[in-house]
Copies of this chain bind each other. A is one copy, B any other.
Amino acid sequence: MAIKYSRQRQLIKDFLMTRKDHPTADVVYMNVRQKYPNISLGTVYRNLSLLSELGEIRRLRLGDGIDHYDADTSDHYHVICTQCGGVSDVKADGIGDILGNANIEYDGEIQGHVTYFYGICEKCLKSAARNDLLIGC
């Protein structure tokens, strides 16, 4: 049960730490393969799960059916773009108090909550503006 070092796990975490776009397992796989060509997709999945359980990274389930991963484990929130599916950070102070402020009626035991946002990211907003211009031509 003791956790042993593995070069593959190290590379996975190193890669995640360079990224702010919350990549999926597949994206991690594609990228780590550049440095370590015969890493297996299963190894990526296993280590992303392990690192999540250890609290070294965070697994994001944002309603698109694909798990995203984030090396930034500090408390923050996410926006998923309804147009491109991209995930970006959003600073939203005050949501953490949601449980305290909310008037919750529930007969079980509430342990935590998940909140995420959806909308249109900056990139897609800009390309939409560009398309509007083109239509005018």
Contact = CB atoms under 8 A, between A and B. Distances in A.
A117 B110 contact: yes
Which DSSP category, helix, strand, loop or mixed, fits chain A's interface?
strand
A92 B117 CA distance: 18
Interface stretch (A13-21, A27-35, A95-103): A95-103
A87 to B, nearest CB: 11
A108 interface: yes
Which interface class (under 10, 10 to 19, 20 to 34, 35 or more) fits A?
35 or more
A132 interface: no
B112 A102 contact: no
Interface string A89-115: 011111100100111111111111111
A78 to B, nearest CB: 10
